[in-house]
Amino acid sequence: MKRAASVCFAVLVLAGCGGGGDAETADAPSTPRQSLPTSSTRPPLPTTTVVAQPAPDVPGQVVVRGVDSSCASAEVGAPIDLTEVSVHLGVPGHAGTAARVVWSYQGDLPATGTVLWSLSAADRGGNNAVQLGYKTLDGNQIAYFTFAGAKQQNLSGAPDVSVPGQIAAVLPSAAVAALGSEWHWKAVVNVDGEDVDRCPN
């Protein structure tokens, strides 16, 4: 009987030793996530649109507002009738922005005496002015020039007179640049020292 009780006690002791089982592992407390700071979006800066205003009219002048400008002469001149004058910016074979000036006319050119074809241009404020001139005596060229600041500059070559009823000359790019972005002009034909026609009129 004692032996049976001893065996039972031993079994209980062994069962008590192993009854604890594996220890449960407690979950570690979770660390709350820190939200990254968001960059604030700045509102776009207001933009200002500047609209270029066209150059104002100048009485008795042709205002240059683009590549081409022109005028028609309503009056009839004698012995030369100036019918139209045109100015085109940009001339092939010339550096920079030179201007091609064409005087169109009717009538016969005088065989004797002087004839002066001129274009007078000035900037908007009238501070810079230049004259382009082509002068003949008895039908032969004696002057081809620009005149600015009380100084005359003789130009090389000669105007193009190959088209009947037209005289085509070139105002150099340096003279055009001196006039700035806003300028105006008028044209005159003079015979023996007297203006016989102009454009505009």
Contact 55, 64 (CB under 8 A): yes
Q: State the pTM of this model.
A: 0.73
Q: What's the length of the chain?
A: 201
pLDDT of residue 44: 67
The amino acid sitting at 11 is V
pLDDT of residue 35: 53
pLDDT of residue 52: 57
Round to whole Å and give the CA distance between 116 and 110: 11
Contact 95, 174 (CB under 8 A): no
Q: How far is CA 151 from CA 13, 128, 129, in A?
A: 131, 13, 11
How is residue 186 written in tokens?
A: 């008028």
| Mean pLDDT, each 10-residue run in order, the chain (201 residues) | 40 41 47 54 62 75 95 94 97 93 97 98 94 98 96 96 97 95 96 97 88
The rounded radius of gyration (Å) of the Cα atoms in the chain is: 47
Round to whole Å and give the CA distance between 170 and 89: 10
How is residue 73 written in tokens?
A: 């002469």
How is residue 124 written in tokens?
A: 């908007």
In three-state secondary structure terms, 47 is: coil
pLDDT of residue 55: 73
Would you kindly state where each structural domain of the chain is located, as residue ranges?
A: 62-199
* Domain 62-199 falls under CATH 3.30.70: no
